[in-house]
């Protein structure tokens, strides 16, 4: 692999070649004080063949802090609209994000480089276009944590900070996160042209996305319906993965839904600590629209909005058939993941009841979701085993004992070997996730200009399934102060 410098990154700008109605071209707004590098992600740098040594150059913080450009960049803010908390908002767009351009790597992959927090754009509405250090750390760490868990997601190259003052609930310092994805086109990118009755632009966008990201459909006669069918499938499988790992997005508006079925826009997210299917991670979500257990339904609702936007291009019956496939796909993938989390390698009729009963016991006992499933890997199917470490998660010991007996019989039925099963389960049940209290600890240190915890968490979360003996404390359930942290859309 050729190692590239900042100046020799291989830029292309296919989105900038679309009609001007798709975006606003503008440069990032530099901070009022000198930018400086807070954290650099070598794994993301490899995706664009960037030499890690480049991060030590002062130009690196300038470039990814919004004060420098290199040849080939054509910065722009993308136009889109969307349904926010169920209500259509006619124009949104990148209010604090600027697409610098697209970089090709030597493997023929193309990555958008987008600065989030790079200043005002024509779509900022009443905002200042800035992000604060707190929110950039959360997005940077969670996107990499999700990648470590094997969940499709945007990636993050770096955080660049400054002493520039930003006003939120209080005065904070501004920062930018450089996020990467094959594209940042979202459901709302289609909705804006549908509701404006700009069907030619709608077709141009659909043709562009298909050519760039679904090229096998370019010459298919019913390509728009087939394209939508694949978006449905990707979205269903993505949300099944969120549910299995116990992660809540917090603000599943249609403008936060990727056309590639990857996790997009990290605001008030949260991993479940004490298992609660009704978990609401966004304190602005007063009605629980985006509660954890509502996510599969909201995925379908959002896809129906996208289907509506594609009506000028595809047959209604074809779009409806694709929508009808969503729930079975999502439920099937979720059950496959939960069977794997429970170490079941053969499908049996009573698997769903066995898993649901375990989740019910976990809910009654406020058991830690991540730790309980990790402990389940060490379950002994021997008839005389009490399975005490796992049993200690449950308040109703008799109910747990009854469940454990059923589970042991189920394992023996498929002739499961405890050691081999545990190895399998440890590859799907993470030991480490980005709990809100861990992110908050890193944020508070960073606000004192100690960035060591950001880098420590980044390294930890890139390998969440392995036992890391020196990091044992990071697998602990949150302390009391960490259980009720409030996060909002500004987080």
Q: What is the band of 372 on the pLDDT scale with cuts at 50, 70, 90?
A: very high
Q: Which residues, other chains included, contact 177 with Cβ-Cβ below 8 Å and sequence gap of 6+?
A: 115, 116, 117, 131, 136, 139, 140, 156, 158, 159
CB 357 within 8 A of CB 403: yes
Vertex 264: Cα angle to 366 and 103 (nearest 5)? 145
Domain boundary among 340, 366, 392: 340
Query: What are the Cα distances from residue 153, in Å, to 73, 99, 101, 237, 452?
Result: 23, 17, 19, 13, 24
Mean pLDDT of 223-237: 98
Q: Does residue 81 belong to any structural domain of this protein?
A: yes
Query: What are the Cα distances from residue 53, in Å, to 4, 43, 457, 460?
Result: 10, 13, 21, 22
pLDDT tens digits along 191-219 = 999 999 999 999 999 999 999 999 999 99
Q: Which residues, other chains included, contact 417 with Cβ-Cβ below 8 Å and sequence gap of 6+?
A: none
Percent of the chain scored above 70 by pLDDT?
99
Strand pairing category for 171-181 and 155-167: antiparallel
Mean pLDDT of 328-350: 96
Within a 13 Å sphere around the CA of 352, how many CA atoms are in the beta-carbon half?
6
- Can you give the residue range of the structural domain that contains 228? 188-340
pLDDT value for 491: 53
Q: Higher model confidence: residue 488 or residue 246?
A: 246
Mean pLDDT of 99-119: 96
**Residues 121 and 243 grouped into a single domain:** no
pLDDT value for 200: 98
CB 49 within 8 A of CB 1: yes
Bridge partners of residue 186, in order along the sequence: 258
pLDDT value for 291: 97
Domain boundary among 184, 203, 224: 184
Alpha carbons 316 and 305: distance in angstroms, whole number: 13
Structure tokens at 82: 């969307």
Structure tokens at 356: 């649901």
Q: Which residues, other chains included, contact 227 with Cβ-Cβ below 8 Å and sequence gap of 6+?
A: 206, 209, 210, 214, 217
Q: Does residue 133 belong to any structural domain of this protein?
A: yes
pLDDT value for 333: 98
- Nearest CA to 341 out of 325, 327, 316, 358 is that of 358
- Nearest CA to 230 out of 143, 295, 306, 146 is that of 306
Q: What is the band of 1 on the pLDDT scale with cuts at 50, 70, 90?
A: low
**In this predicted structure, which of 134-138, 396-400, 478-482 has the lowest mean pLDDT?**
478-482
In 159-294, which ranges are continuous DSSP H helix?
Answer: 187-195, 199-213, 223-245
**Residues 38 and 115 grouped into a single domain:** yes
Helix (H, G, I), strand (E, B) or coil at 175: strand
pLDDT tens digits along 432-471 = 999 999 999 999 999 999 999 999 999 999 999 999 999 9
Alpha carbons 41 and 39: distance in angstroms, whole number: 7
pLDDT above 60 (res 50) = yes
**Residues 169 and 102 grouped into a single domain:** yes
Say if residue 427 carries a ligand binding annotation: no
**Residues 47 and 78 grouped into a single domain:** yes
A 10 A CB-CB count for 163 gives 13
Say if residue 219 carries a ligand binding annotation: no
Percent of the chain scored above 90 by pLDDT?
93
The count of domains in the chain is 2
pLDDT above 70 (res 396) = yes
Which single residue is written with the structure tokens 């960073």?
A: 446
Q: Does residue 43 belong to any structural domain of this protein?
A: yes
CB 275 within 8 A of CB 367: yes
Which single residue is written with the structure tokens 């767009």?
A: 93
**Residues 151 and 220 grouped into a single domain:** no
**Residues 167 and 310 grouped into a single domain:** no
Please give the helix or strand (H or E) that residue 420 lies within, else none.
Answer: helix 418-426
pLDDT above 80 (res 116) = yes
Q: Does residue 166 belong to any structural domain of this protein?
A: yes
Helix (H, G, I), strand (E, B) or coil at 401: helix
Query: What are the Cα distances from residue 467, in Å, to 26, 35, 289, 423, 436?
Result: 46, 36, 36, 12, 21
Say if residue 449 carries a ligand binding annotation: no
**Residues 33 and 145 grouped into a single domain:** yes
Burial class (CB in 10 A: 0-12, 13-18, 19+), 489: middle
Please give the helix or strand (H or E) that residue 457 lies within, else none.
Answer: helix 452-461
Asked about 255 being catalytic, the answer comes back as yes
**Residues 139 and 283 grouped into a single domain:** no
**Residues 206 and 120 grouped into a single domain:** no
Mean pLDDT of 468-482: 92
How much is the mean pLDDT over the chain? 95
pLDDT above 80 (res 2) = no
Q: Does residue 412 belong to any structural domain of this protein?
A: no
pLDDT value for 385: 86
Q: Does residue 98 belong to any structural domain of this protein?
A: yes
**Residues 64 and 151 grouped into a single domain:** yes
| Overall size of the chain counted in residues | 491
pLDDT above 90 (res 261) = yes
Mean pLDDT of 121-138: 93
**Residues 150 and 121 grouped into a single domain:** yes
Catalytic residue, chosen from 49, 94, 112, 255, is 255
Say if residue 186 carries a ligand binding annotation: yes
Say if residue 107 carries a ligand binding annotation: no
Alpha carbons 234 and 240: distance in angstroms, whole number: 10
- Nearest CA to 490 out of 175, 281, 267, 178 is that of 267
Written as one string, the DSSP assignment of 315-372 is: -HHHHHHHHHHHHHHHHHHHHHHHHHHTT--S--TTHHHHHHHHHHHHHHHT-BHHHH
Query: What are the Cα distances from residue 409, in Å, to 382, 383, 398?
Result: 10, 9, 17
Q: Does residue 325 belong to any structural domain of this protein?
A: yes
**Residues 120 and 224 grouped into a single domain:** no
> What region, left, alpha or beta, does residue 452 occupy, with left being phi > 0 and alpha being psi -120 to 50 degrees?
alpha
Q: What is the band of 480 on the pLDDT scale with cuts at 50, 70, 90?
A: confident
Say if residue 256 carries a ligand binding annotation: yes
pLDDT above 80 (res 488) = no
pLDDT value for 490: 60
Say if residue 368 carries a ligand binding annotation: no
Q: Does residue 476 belong to any structural domain of this protein?
A: no
DSSP state for residue 293 in the 8-state scheme:
G
Say if residue 265 carries a ligand binding annotation: yes
CB 329 within 8 A of CB 411: no
Which single residue is written with the structure tokens 């707190």?
A: 134
Bridge partners of residue 255, in order along the sequence: none
Q: What is the band of 91 on the pLDDT scale with cuts at 50, 70, 90?
A: confident
């Amino acid at each position: 692999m050729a190692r590239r410098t900042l100046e020799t990154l291989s830029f292309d700008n296919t989105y900038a070649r679309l009609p001007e109605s798709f975006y606003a071209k503008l440069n990032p707004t530099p901070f009022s004080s000198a930018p400086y590098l807070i954290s650099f992600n070598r794994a993301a740098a490899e995706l664009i063949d960037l030499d890690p040594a480049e991060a030590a150059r002062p130009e690196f913080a300038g470039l990814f802090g919004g004060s420098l450009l290199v040849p080939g960049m054509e910065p722009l803010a993308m136009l889109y609209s969307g349904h926010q908390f169920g209500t259509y908002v006619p124009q949104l767009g990148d209010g604090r994000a600027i697409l610098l351009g697209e970089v090709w790597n030597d493997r023929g992959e193309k990555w958008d480089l987008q600065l989030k927090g790079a200043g005002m754009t024509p779509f900022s509405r009443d905002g200042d276009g800035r992000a604060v250090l707190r929110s950039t750390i959360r997005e940077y760490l969670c996107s990499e944590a999700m990648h470590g868990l094997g969940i499709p997601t945007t990636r993050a190259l770096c955080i660049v900070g400054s002493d520039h003052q930003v006003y939120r609930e209080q005065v904070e310092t501004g920062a930018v996160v450089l996020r990467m994805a094959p594209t940042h086109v979202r459901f709302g990118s289609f909705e804006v042209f549908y509701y404006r009755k700009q069907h030619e632009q709608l077709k141009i966008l659909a043709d562009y996305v298909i050519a760039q990201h679904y090229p096998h459909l370019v010459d298919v006669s019913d390509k728009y319906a087939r394209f939508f069918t694949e978006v449905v499938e990707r979205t269903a499988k993505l949300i099944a993965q969120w549910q299995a790992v116990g992660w809540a997005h917090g603000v599943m508006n249609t403008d936060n839904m990727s056309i590639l079925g990857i996790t997009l826009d990290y605001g008030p997210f949260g991993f479940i600590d004490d298992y609660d299917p009704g978990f609401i991670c966004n304190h602005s979500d007063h009605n629980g629209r985006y509660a954890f257990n509502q996510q599969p339904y909201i995925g379908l609702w959002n896809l129906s909005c996208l289907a509506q936007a594609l009506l000028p291009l595809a047959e209604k019956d074809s779009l409806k058939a694709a929508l009808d496939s969503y729930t079975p796909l999502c439920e099937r993938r979720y059950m496959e993941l939960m069977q794997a989390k429970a170490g079941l390698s053969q499908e049996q009729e009573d698997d769903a009841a066995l898993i649901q009963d375990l989740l019910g016991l976990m809910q009654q006992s406020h058991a830690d979701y991540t730790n309980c499933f990790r402990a389940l890997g060490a379950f002994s199917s021997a008839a005389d085993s009490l399975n005490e470490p796992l049993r200690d998660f449950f308040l109703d010991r008799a109910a747990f004992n009854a469940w454990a007996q059923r589970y042991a019989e189920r394992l023996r039925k498929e002739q499961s070997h405890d050691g081999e099963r545990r190895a399998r389960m440890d590859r799907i049940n993470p030991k480490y996730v980005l709990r809100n209290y861990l992110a908050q600890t890193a944020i508070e240190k960073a606000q004192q200009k100690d960035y060591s915890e950001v880098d420590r968490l980044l390294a930890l979360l890139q390998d969440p399934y392995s036992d890391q003996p020196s990091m044992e404390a990071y697998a602990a359930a949150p302390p009391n102060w960490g259980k009720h942290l409030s996060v909002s859309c500004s987080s």
